């Protein structure tokens, strides 16, 4: 699988994201460094 994420408008920082498919859900952290 592949996800395209355009962070051009977001400031640097720590972000949470969720992956979900049916009953499956998973939360992860992402560090955006500019």
Q: What is the mean pLDDT of residues 5-24?
A: 95
Q: What is the mean pLDDT of residues 4-32?
A: 95
**Amino acid 2: pLDDT:** 87
pLDDT at 31 over 90: yes
**Cα end-to-end distance, the chain, whole Å:** 25
Secondary structure (H, E, C), the chain: CCCCCCCCCCCCEEEEEEEEECCEEEEEEEEECC
Radius of gyration over every alpha carbon of the chain, rounded to an integer in angstroms? 11
Full-model pTM: 0.67
pLDDT at 23 over 90: yes
């Amino acid at each position: 699988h592949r996800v395209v994420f355009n962070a051009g408008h977001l400031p640097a920082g720590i972000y949470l994201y969720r992956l979900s498919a049916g009953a499956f859900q998973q939360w992860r952290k992402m560090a955006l460094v500019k």
